[in-house]
Structure 1
Amino acid sequence: MTDLFSYALIGMGILFWYWGTAAFLRRRSVLFKLHHLSVADTLGSVSIIAGLLLQRPREWPLLLLAILSLALWNTMLGYILAYCATGGDEKRGGDDG
């Protein structure tokens, strides 16, 4: 039963990856596409690692570290990519004149 649930999580993670990639086919802004891709990639990767966690319970410290790293990395990368995509032209509240 655990193997079946593990394979279901891994399959769901792969589906999330494809779902995020499908956003590039839509006619939307670049920021929408990046957001969609980063959320789907994070959910897919965490689902796959959770499925691996069920198969290899003795490796839980490394897999938990991988889940936390993915969540932090993908969040920060999304913000950096959005900032670069807008050109970094937002005013920061300074007195530029």
Structure 2
Amino acid sequence: MINVISYVCMGMGMVFWFWGTWPLVGHRSVLYKLHSLSVADTLGSMLIVVGLLLKIPREWPLLVLAILSLAIWNTVLGYVLAYCSSSPKEAET
């Protein structure tokens, strides 16, 4: 049963990866595209790591560290992109 849940998590992670690339072909702003891509990529990667955690539980410290790193660094990257995309007058206030 754990194997099935593990494969479902990894499969859903890949679905999120491909789902996140779909807005790239739209006509929205670049920031919207980057936001949707980074959110879907983060969730997909986390689901894949959770699937691996269920598959190989003896590696839990490394996999938990990977999940925390994904959550923290992708959030920080989102803030950096938002800060860099704002105009200089908005950044000062």
- TM-score with structure 2 length normalisation? 0.91
Q: CA deviation at 1:74?
A: 0.5
Q: CA deviation at 1:83?
A: 2.3
Q: Match for residue 83 of structure 1?
A: 83
Task: Tell me the number of residue pairs that the alignment of Structure 1 and Structure 2 aligns.
Answer: 93
Kindly indicate whether the alpha-carbon contact (under 8 Å) linking 1:34 and 1:82 is maintained by their aligned counterparts in 2. no
Q: Which protein has the larger Cα radius of gyration, Structure 1 or Structure 2? A: 1
The residue identity in structure 2 corresponding to 1:21 is T
Q: Deviations over 1:17-52 (max 9, x none)?
A: 111111101111111111101110110000000000
Kindly indicate whether the alpha-carbon contact (under 8 Å) linking 2:14 and 2:44 is maintained by their aligned counterparts in 1. yes
Q: Match for residue 3 of structure 1?
A: 3
Moved over 4 A (4+): none
Alignment RMSD: 1.3
Q: Deviations over 1:34-75 (max 9, x none)?
A: 110111011000000000000000111110000000000101
**Alignment map for 1:62-81 (pairs within 5 Å):** 62-81=62-81
1:45 maps onto 2:45 in alignment: yes
Q: Which moved more, 1:22-31 or 1:42-51?
A: 22-31
Identity of aligned residues (%): 61
Unaligned runs of 5+ residues in structure 2 are: none
Q: CA deviation at 1:88?
A: 4.5
The residue identity in structure 2 corresponding to 1:41 is D
